[in-house]
Each structure stands twice: as structure tokens, then as C-alpha cells.
Amino acid sequence: MPALAGILVMIGILGLLIAVHELGHFLAARLQGIHVNRFSIGFGPILWKYQGEQTEYALRSIPLGGFVGFPDEEPDSPIPPSDPDLMKNRPILDRAIVISAGVIANLILAYLLLVTEVGIVGVPGGVQYAPGVLIAQVATDVSPVAAEAGIQARDIVLAVDGQPLGQAEAARDVLMKSIQNHNSGPIQLHIQRQGQELDLDIVPERSDDGIARIGVQLSPNGKLIRRPIQNLGELFTTAAREFQKIIGFMAHTLGQLVGNFRESASQVAGPVGIVAIGADMARTDRSSLFQFAAVISVNLAFINILPLPALDGGQLAFLLIEGLRGKPLPNNIQEGVMQVGLFLLLGLGVFMIVLDTAKLMT
């Protein structure tokens, strides 16, 4: 698949995930009879719109999210402020269902994507290992020495200082220890690249913690073997196990980000980085796009449930305060917090785009 086609496929997947999130809000409101006047994918100027009987459907130019609009938010709305079907006039539980429905929709979509993946490619049945260790990624932000020595992603390291590494996960551990415990001088790596073999000398860089690094991410050189599913029960239980693994991974990653923000933040990918990774998958292994899309869908759910302004979690926090106080916070306070939160969120999105672009260029 050409590079441009891969990028378009990934942009389409991101658009689908955002649309499903907003569709969750929209359906939760409409099924409860709550007035909805806007359904938008993206922010900023309108590229396309359709005016339905009650709702305006729009596609906007900044693909960093979307929103569902309610007439409560518009001062010139023809609907009387006392209408019981306005969002603001509904009980807290009704509003909480609408606000949390986007997160629930993303989680349901992630599970369905995993069901589709297992149904198409089968059930994991072990790993078939080959000799060597795979260079999964060259991380120049950690240490530039690997990139400067000519090491590339997808290279396979067969031997270190003349000693074969063997195969399976033990080979990765041997290579890691050889690099981390290296004292001085260059290490010779015997590398296989696209059917050709070459030797590269590299001098590890020792960081402040005393551990030598070369700036690569290592993976065992193996291929996952899958077998066809035997029945529907196996299909859904296997997808459920994969779903549980992704939830656990996301929770662990979020905990690491909170616990060690400075180090973990450098590993976070923004929109451009996600598109680049997904486009590469679309070119090399299209079946893995299902799991990748499921991971991103769960990621969207986790991000949106955080109690931050302009996110679903922030609105749920307002509802919690309202329940404890017996009345909502004043509108000017809520609007001010939400506007600041939206500004910061868009600013973070732009920052991540610039950061991802810089990483790709280097």
C-alpha cells in the first residue's frame, strides 16, 4: 500500500473513532428525548454540513475531536428555557448518561474491533522465533548514538562482539545486558538488513543513572502464530482477554505518566505520531490495524474520562459538585473553566503535532 494511502486509511480510522465517540453522546441524548441541535466531527470552520429536522450535522476543518451541541448553550434558541427536554433541565442521572456515553461507545467499539480481528486472523497460538533481536524503533530522543552509527528500525541484530545471540526472548535480554554493562570502547553488532548482513561499531552512551544506552527499542525476533477459531464462544472470550490486556496496559501507562511525567511524556505520541504509526501498519500488516484502532479507541476513552475541563470527565466532575451542593455551580464559573480547558486542550494538540512532526523529521 502506498504511503499516502496508508496515511489516508489512518486518518479515516481516527475519524471513525471520533465519530463513534460523539455518536454515543448523540444517541444517549436523543433516546432520552433530550434536544440536540449540533453534531460535529472536528473543530473550527465548517467544511460540510447538513441541516436535519432538529440537528445540524457538520464536518469541520480541525480534526482534533468533535462535539455534540445542545440548544441550552445558545441564547437565541427558540426553545423555551423551561422546556423539560433541555439538557440542563434533566436530572443529574440523565445528564451523566449522556456525558459518559461517548466513553462507553469507544470501549464497545474497541471490543468489537478485537472480535473482528480474532474472527479474521484467528486465535493467538504461540510465537515462532527466528535468530536475532529486532530493532523495533530507533529513539533519537533517548540517545542519538544508534542513529548516528547507521542502525535502522527493522534491523535484526544477529551477534554482539562476535557472539551469536540465538533466538527467543532470551536473545533480547543478552543484547540488553551486553549494552548496559559495557565499560568502554565500541560494541560490534552483526546486523541483518533486508537480506544483507553488515557489521556496525557503536559506542554506548552512559546516562546519569550509570546505565549505558544506544537509543533503540528491542523486541524478540518472532512472529505470532494464529489458528482459526473453533466456535463463537472462543471468538468472544479471546476478544475479551485481548480487551482486558489493553485496559490493563492503558491503566499502567497512565499510572507511569502520572508517576514520572517528565520521562514518560517524551514517549507519548500525538495525532501526527499516531497517523505515522498507523500508516506504517497499513503498509506492512493490515490485520494489526484492528488491534491498533482498538488501542486508540480505549485511549480516547481513558483520556476523555479524566476529570479535566473540556473533557467528559470534567463535565462529570461538575455534575458531582452539583449533586453534593444541591445546585449547579454558577454558569459564569462553569463557562470560564470550560473555555480555559478547551484553549489548553487545543494548545496541547497543536504542541503534540509540532513535537511529532519534529520527531519524524529527525
DSSP string, 260-327: THHHHHTT---HHHHHHHHHHHHHH-TTHHHHHHHHHHHHHHHHHHSS-TTSHHHHHHHHHHHHHHSS
In the three-class reduction of DSSP (H, G, I as helix; E, B as strand; rest coil), residue 166 is classed as coil
Active-site residue list: 22
Distance CA 134, CA 151 (A): 11
pLDDT of residue 168: 78
User: Does 2.30.42.10 match the CATH number of domain 125-226?
Assistant: yes
**Which residue's C-alpha cell is 517524551?**
266
Distance CA 151, CA 107 (A): 38
pLDDT of residue 258: 58
Of 149, 278, 281, the C-alpha closest to 216 is 149
pTM: 0.72
Inter-helix orientation angle 3-30/92-121, to 10°: 140
pLDDT in tens, 216-251: 888 888 887 888 888 889 999 999 998 998 888 877
- Three-point CA angle 353, 66, 263, nearest 5°: 35
Ranges in the chain, pLDDT < 50: 1, 261-273, 275, 278-279, 282, 284, 351-362
pLDDT of residue 51: 92
Kindly report the average pLDDT of the chain as a whole number: 79
Determine contact, residues 120/190, Cβ cutoff 8 Å.
no
Of 293, 277, 274, 272, the C-alpha closest to 350 is 272
Q: Is the dihedral of CA 203, 157, 188, 176 positive or negative?
A: positive
HSE (side-chain half, CA atoms, 13 Å) at 86: 14
Q: Where are the domains of the chain?
A: 3-118+294-361, 125-226
Of 116, 115, 121, the C-alpha closest to 223 is 121
Residues contacting 137, CB < 8 A, separation 6+: 153, 216, 217
pLDDT in tens, 77-104: 888 888 999 998 999 999 999 999 999 9
